[in-house]
Structure 1
């Protein structure tokens, strides 16, 4: 049985609106056939009467035309967004934006640390007034939690840039209050070593065929253990335990740096689900990896000297 459908109104096929039209057309077709079988036609009736315009119009009434819309559902739009982000040009623009933001963050941080290291009056004031460090901590964690947890605000311009500027300045001030307890040459050695390690690990993450994004869960467990280890060291004064703590922290955040770079690059890596709007989040992850790497290398150099 052949059924032609013609519908003048749009139909959502995902909701099954077309099924009642098919059943209706099938019922009308069956009724029309049964009516033709119950009403015998005269043998003397001419053939042209059966093919008259009225019969053609009756058959035309059972014809339906279905127009299928090209509009996408929200899931289709999400898949098309992911497909477009897999495009090399879009991913390249995303990576360039992340590295530009990261470069600006690191430049501001280095400038702030330099004031604490080379400005002797400021260095002495910070050592004499520890309340300054304790006052920075609540503001730092508030801005950090907002950036980490409020995804909608993190993707909204210019709020995301304003929060990132505040976060970078607060992070630089906190690092400055830490570096006042080290000598200038130790800070310079740590800065140079961090730059070399960061560059080497970034190039390694871009070239290697190993997928470090699979280590996300394991690195989180190691980070949790490192935090507990650091809390214990507050009450234990041991040179070798502190040296081991600094070495473990350096290794863990080196892996984190490689993993976050691969998450940003995407492509063949298993976990690379960052959207094009998450450039602030990607830059923040890599920035924190570099800062933590700098702190642990600074501890290593300070303990070694």
Structure 2
């Protein structure tokens, strides 16, 4: 015969597992099985009206426990070893209403180690993307047969454009897709290849000196803006609405600039674009940093964070190259 701990309450309560194959209190009768000694009942718990306290036990919730959120069918407040678990809210244990899983809905950036690891992961992905892009640009810029072959097959540009939009929409709009490996890396790789191909086709129409100058200026600007974003007390994460309106205005201005063939219009358009995406780089960098800023990105969004930074850097490079080309034309 198995003898269970039947010490006085409250010590005996936490060390007594439920009888085998018996329902929880509040869901039916709870007699001891045949052959087991009678055990003390469980303390009063709101949500278990059919389990009255035994004679002699104090009424109401007991110290060290909070049964305010316990309802019918919830497990008792002890673990599998029968040990008491004092906690202030059952939602903290079972993920009920008001509970937020930090791995899904948010992220506590107060842990410096975790935050720095997340930032290192994002910048590692970004460096791989930029390396692929620079390799494509150098290939098209210095290997004339490849550039001529690509120009003779314009369907490649259309295919790249389709891949670019499909992969970007999937990564930007489908949260489950961009968080699930390896699908997120596959889509990010396809996006990077398509963007690199299209950017290399555009850069190949410029002189090599102009492209190298644009690369150097872009690197200096992005490095300076990144250091500024890490050190400044200004919170750029609150500028999301302003940046959205500004990019819509820039898009309309770009459509007008297509039909207005003017060197001044091109320079103004490219200058505004470079300034706007410089602000976007500050905004996305601080979103990645989290911490003292109002808004931040979840640690599961490392692919999305790298995508944002990559698009910012590429747009800054394109607009700076446009400024250099228009000023030397």
Band of TM-score, shorter chain: 0.7 to 0.9
2:320 to 275, 297, 300: 297
Answering whether residue 250 of structure 2 is matched by residue 226 of structure 1, we say yes
2:176 to 140, 143, 152: 152
Which residue number corresponds to residue 18 of structure 1? 46
CA contact (8 A) 1:97 1:279 kept: yes
| 1:87, distance to aligned residue in structure 2 (A) | 1.3
Q: Would the alpha carbon gap of residues 155 and 301 (structure 1) be closer, same or farther in structure 2, given more than 3 Å must change? A: same
Partner Cα distance (1:261, 1:113) in 2: 25
Bigger helix share: 1
SS in structure 2 of the partner of residue 205 of structure 1: helix
User: What do the CA deviations read for 1:213-239 (whole angstroms, capped 9, x no partner)?
Assistant: 111110110000000111111211111
User: What do the CA deviations read for 1:13-37 (whole angstroms, capped 9, x no partner)?
Assistant: xxxx716749x96xx9xxxxxxxxx
CA contact (8 A) 1:153 1:159 kept: yes
Larger radius of gyration: 1
Q: Would the alpha carbon gap of residues 10 and 301 (structure 1) be closer, same or farther in structure 2, given more than 3 Å must change? A: farther
Matches within 5 A, 1:92-103: 92-103=116-127
| 1:79, distance to aligned residue in structure 2 (A) | 5.5
User: What do the CA deviations read for 1:224-276 (whole angstroms, capped 9, x no partner)?
Assistant: 0000111111211111111100000000000000110000001111111x111
- Structure with bigger RCO (C-alpha 8 Å, 6+ apart): 1
Partner Cα distance (1:93, 1:77) in 2: 22
Which residue number corresponds to residue 34 of structure 2? none
Q: Would the alpha carbon gap of residues 178 and 62 (structure 1) be closer, same or farther in structure 2, given more than 3 Å must change? A: same
Partner Cα distance (1:83, 1:278) in 2: 10
Partner Cα distance (2:290, 2:197) in 1: 33
Q: TM-score, normalised by structure 1?
A: 0.79
SS in structure 2 of the partner of residue 78 of structure 1: coil
Answering whether residue 153 of structure 2 is matched by residue 125 of structure 1, we say no
Structure 2: which 5+ residue stretches go unaligned?
Answer: 1-8, 19-23, 27-44, 68-76, 78-86, 88-92
Which residue number corresponds to residue 56 of structure 2? 60
Aligned residues: 264
CA contact (8 A) 2:137 2:204 kept: no
Q: Would the alpha carbon gap of residues 126 and 85 (structure 1) be closer, same or farther in structure 2, given more than 3 Å must change? A: same
